Structure 1
Amino acid sequence: MDESKDSIYISEKEKKMVNRILKRYNFCILDIKKVRSVYKIKTSDGNVCLKKLKHGKNKPYNGSLLVEELLNNGFYNTARYYKTNDGHSYVKFKNLLFYVTDWIDGQECNLNDIHEAIECVKLLARYHIATSKIDMSSFKIRNNLKNWNNIFIKCLHDLEKFENIIENKKLKTHFDIMYKKYIHSMYNKGIISLHFLNTSEYYRLSRKSSLSRAICHDSFYYQNIIKKNHNYYIIDLDSIVIDLHVNDLGKLIRRLMFKKNYEWDFYKALKLIEAYSSINKLNKEELEVMLSLIIFPHKFWKLGRKRYIKNKNLSEQKYTHKLIRLIKYDELQNEFLENYLKYIDNYK
């Protein structure tokens, strides 16, 4: 993490709060910095990370337990959690929760570099293998299995809602007109995605994963993958969820395909799929399920939700720029889909 760029000024009041929280741990504190949304604490024994949560007391508990189990299964590429002096996994302060992990002294990975992205998906594959050996009975974790269908349908209903909102506006902006123009084609993409999901082995794979209670990171992206001395570490286990492992890989590929260095190039996606599969073998059924996730128009839906539901205060220019970036890949996505389907047909 580039601290010079991401460090944030801390007021004396905030420092007092941090010091008060850290008294619950056995640290000799030398310095406190704020980097993005977390605190980097320099102690006499090395650096640790203090993280703040607004809710979710099970998150530090689940993360701490998961790291212990991962270590027991030979997966060391993550940050250890620290217990308080009285053995708790977090400190409650006013309406906030705080917990402490190791600080991995390294750099955020560069997923724009395909070679680095390949190493990251290999890390993900090893993480999934290690988590599959864990007894999940003690975890308090959300189960997202068999829920993709509901998520897709809800997003499609939202697209209908966005269209009605635009139609009922007396004054339509340039963004409104452009967004509405593409709703039908994106809706159809969503229907195709839903069709792929419901004609795949999704529910059978979900039943199988339900028995093993397969764990996904659910936020596997550059800010949560740290490179240190040619090794990669996965951090921030706040979002872990029970789901198909291809949830993590599919979401990563979907996000990368919108980047300038990928631009829905199927053969770059294939490199990532094959890198993952070289560690944790994917079967044909998993690839079919993952396709439905990759091609679903999630970013288009998310932008509409930001504009018409959340009313995020972005400029018209910024909204339009984001939309143009999405829709320019329309044809490339169709080519991607064709190449992916050919690949599945010949997959062994």
Structure 2
Amino acid sequence: MGDYQVQPWDNLALTNPKFRSIDLNMYVPPEIEKLADKVISFYDLKVKERHLITSKPDKGGAIWRIKTNKGVRSLKLLHREPRRSRFSVEAQQYVVKKGARVPALIPTKKGQLCQELGGKTWIVTDWVSPLTQATKIDLKGAQALCYGLGEFHKHSKGYVPSGEANVASRLHKWPKHYAKIINKIDWFRVLAKLYKENPASRKLLSVIDTFEKQAQNALAQLEKSAYYKMVSMGEPYWGLVHQDYGWSNGQMGPKGIWVIDLDGVAYDLPIRDLRKLITSTMDDMGVWDIKWMRGMIEAYHKANPLSQEMFKILLIDMAMPNEFYKHCKEMLYDPETFLNTEFTTVINKLMLCEKTKWKALDQLSKDIGKYKKGKYDPPANNNHKSSVYLPPLSGTIQPLKTFSASSIAPLEKTSKKSKVKKKSKKNSKHKTKKTSPKKSKNKAKTSRASNRRKGGSR
């Protein structure tokens, strides 16, 4: 009989009453504990003590702190498919060799970077200690985090995985991602109309045209930017993004910021991580603070210099209604419950942020002269094939010239049948199918608790 195959265990509370009082984020099934014992046997380590730090019951992952005869180490069960995990494992090894502050991998007895068991990939790394979160109460903490992010991005340039790994790349997918958000915003509108008696529906319908227009305008500006020239440089040229970088996965440690939990890294333009960090911080603050935005970008620039073209795309990505989409997308799982909750309060907060967002972006756009123009001519010997290529969505939307308040005026009632769709059908080389959401059934979702240990890293 073969080894137990790792599966998510978030359904235990639904199928067994005894698990309803257990925090599944601090639990793994006994079969996985047995697999952990077996994995450790592949390493030249004698484990004296093993302590579960956190788990991902909805995905099937876990992290343990292990005390061994060679010091404290981290044992990690990666929840992704093994060939995808191989991409991140090799990336971690690459950036460590380049000098990045990332926990080093401990090889197996046979010199392997990881061990496959139970249908998943397992790794053992150094346990870096002490680690503490950068302060959130002043700009210095945010700047430290951005500088550390820039260092990580710079060290990741040039990475090329082995043939054993499945390439993870978002580099060529920006237009498709923006188009998906535009499509989903229309889904939100349909659901709000379907559940029009729910408290938050009227509020959502009163603002949704504004956010839809923002997304359409951002896509238009991306089309007119240097984006396609930039991505033609190839994936190794740009390196990796973390995809989940923030105060938990970038922490203060020996000699600076340490970047942890790299299992989701992928090729992309590096400013995707920076944009997420800036816009989520502004959302948490409830105001778009130009001093903080400039400070964070300048700190990043010191570690990994930005070009004018990169800065423009950063502005475009910040102009997307990312926070609106982030807050709304859970609606698709259970719209009736979602629209009956305190979502009206969330919308009110978003609209307050809108009052400062566009003035801040206007001011920030004037900083373009601080950055040098980039040179984006693909080298003749660039033999690395990108995983995906998407041609321009030319002619779909007219771009905005500036980030002005007037540019986000609500659309007219006929906006859903605007020229965007008509032109897309005629000119787009890669059309996105317009689909409608069906009335969702209640889905039990286990939220991932942030059980981070402040004293060490995985």
**Superposition TM-score tier, normalisation by shorter sequence:** 0.7 to 0.9
1:189 partnered with 2:211: no
Q: CA 1:83–1:230 in structure 2 vs 1: closer, same or farther (change >3 Å)?
A: closer
Match of 1:18 among 21, 36, 40: 36
Match of 1:103 among 119, 123, 127: 127
Q: Is 1:126 aligned to 2:151, yes or no? A: yes
Deviation at 1:271, TM superposition (A): 0.7
Normalising by structure 1, what TM-score? 0.86
User: Is the contact made by 1:250 and 1:293 (CA closer than 8 Å) also made in structure 2?
Assistant: yes
1:235 aligned residue: 260
| 3-state secondary structure, aligned to 2:277 | helix
1:169-208: CA deviations, max 9, x gaps?
A: 3x52112222222211111111222222122111111112
Q: How far does the alpha carbon of each residue in 1:240-272 deviate from its partner, in whole angstroms, 9 at most, with x for none?
A: 111112122122112111122x72112211111
- Identity among equivalent pairs (%): 19
Please, which of 35, 53, 57 is the counterpart of residue 35 of structure 1?
53
SS in 1 for 2:129: coil
Give 1:44-193 correspondences, 5 Å limit: 44-73=69-98, 75-110=99-134, 112=136, 113-136=138-161, 140-169=166-195, 172-193=197-218
Indicate if the aligned counterparts of 2:72 and 2:127 stay in contact, CA closer than 8 A. Answer: yes
- Partner-residue secondary structure (3-state), 2:197: coil
- In the alignment, structure 1 segments of 5+ residues that lack a partner are 1-6
Query: Quick check: 1:114–1:268 contact (8 Å CA) kept in 2?
Result: yes
Corresponding residue for residue 288 of structure 1: 312
Query: Counterpart of 1:184 in structure 2: which amino acid?
Result: D
Return the alpha-carbon distance in structure 2 between the equivalents of residues 246 and 9 of structure 1.
36
Q: Structure 1 residues 312, 10: CA separation in 2 closer, same or farther (over 3 Å shift)?
A: farther
Q: Which runs of 5+ in 2 are unaligned?
A: 1-24, 56-62, 373-458
Partner Cα separation in structure 1 for residue 194 and residue 323 of structure 2? 23
Name the residue aligned to 2:389: none
Larger radius of gyration: 2
2:339, 2:48 → 1: CA distance? 43
| 1:123, distance to aligned residue in structure 2 (A) | 1.6
Determine whether 1:269 maps to 2:293.
yes
RMSD: 2.8
**Relative to structure 1, is the Cα distance of residues 134 and 154 closer, same or farther in structure 2, using a 3 angstrom cutoff?**
closer
> Normalising by the residue count of structure 2, what TM-score does the alignment of the two structures yield?
0.67
2:267 alignment partner AA: I
Q: Secondary structure at the match of 2:264?
A: coil
Structure number having the greater helix percentage: 1
Amino acid at match of 2:248: Q
1:257 and 1:264 in contact (8 A); partners too = yes
Structure 1 residue 147: deviation in Å? 1.2
Distance 2:119 2:306 in 1: 43
Show the counterpart of 1:4: none
Indicate conservation of the 8 Å contact 2:198/2:336, yes or no.
no
**Greater displacement, 286-295 / 116-125:** 116-125
Q: What SS is found at the alignment partner of 2:248?
A: helix
State the secondary structure of the residue aligned to 1:264: coil
Q: Are the aligned partners of 2:170 and 2:268 in contact in 1 as well (CA < 8 Å)?
A: yes
Deviation at 1:133, TM superposition (A): 4.0
> How many residues matched?
340
Instruction: Give how far 1:15 is off.
Output: 4.2
Aligned amino acid, residue 235 of structure 1? I
Could you tell me which amino acid in structure 2 is paired with residue 31 of structure 1?
A: E
Q: Displacement, 1:96?
A: 4.1
Q: What's the counterpart of residue 367 of structure 2?
A: 343
Report the 3-state secondary structure (helix = DSSP H, G, I; strand = E; otherwise coil) of the residue aligned with 1:119: helix
Which SS does the other structure have where 2:52 is aligned?
Answer: strand
RCO higher in structure (CA 8 A, sep ≥6): 2
Task: Give the Cα separation in 2 of the matches to 1:97 and 1:136.
Answer: 16
> Does residue 238 of structure 2 align to residue 220 of structure 1?
no
Letter in 2 for 1:57: P
210-219 vs 264-273, greater mean Cα deviation: 210-219
Closer/same/farther in 2, CA of residues 315 and 80 from structure 1, 3 Å limit: farther
Partner deviation per Cα, 1:48-79 (whole Å, 9 max, x = no partner): 22222333213442333223322332x14001
